Amino acid sequence: MKLLVRVVISAIALWAATAVVGGISVTAASWGRQALTLLAVAVIFGIVNAVLKPIIKVLGCAFYVLTLGLIALVVNAALLLLTSRLAGALDLPFHVEWFWPAFWGAIIIGVVSWLLNLFVSDDARSR
């Protein structure tokens, strides 16, 4: 249940980013296909973050300290760009144009995910 809640929250956050940021798009024909695409991209985004983010944090620990954590914004944007490339390789109609849309999209995804997690009960998150 916890995994499903996280995927749905990530998909909603991705949808918010596509609605607000001009360079992030889902080009599926119907709304149902868009929702399925966002769910699939949320899974890819979760896997990318789970695998690569800890490695990047360990290897770039000095940059995190030197920039007071601001490098995390660049890392999150790069991971969103990588997710877009992987989605394209899997023929999913999700695309991030370049760095700046990825940068702002990563911020929006982070904020929306944080807000939605505030409203999800601890029981749903811990299962």
Cβ(127)–Cβ(1) under 8 Å?
Answer: yes
pLDDT score for 124: 53
Over the chain, what is the mean pLDDT? 90
pLDDT interval class at 57 (50, 70, 90): confident
Split into its structural domains, the chain has a count of: 1
Element (H, E) at 94: strand 94-96
Q: What number is the average pLDDT over the span 58-75?
A: 89
- Give the model confidence (pLDDT) of 69-108 as tens digits: 889 999 999 999 999 999 999 999 999 999 999 999 999 9
What is this structure's pTM? Answer: 0.85
pLDDT score for 63: 86
Host domain of residue 14:
2-126
pLDDT score for 110: 93
Phi then psi for 70, rounded to 5 degrees?
Answer: -65, -25
Phi then psi for 30, rounded to 5 degrees?
Answer: -110, 165
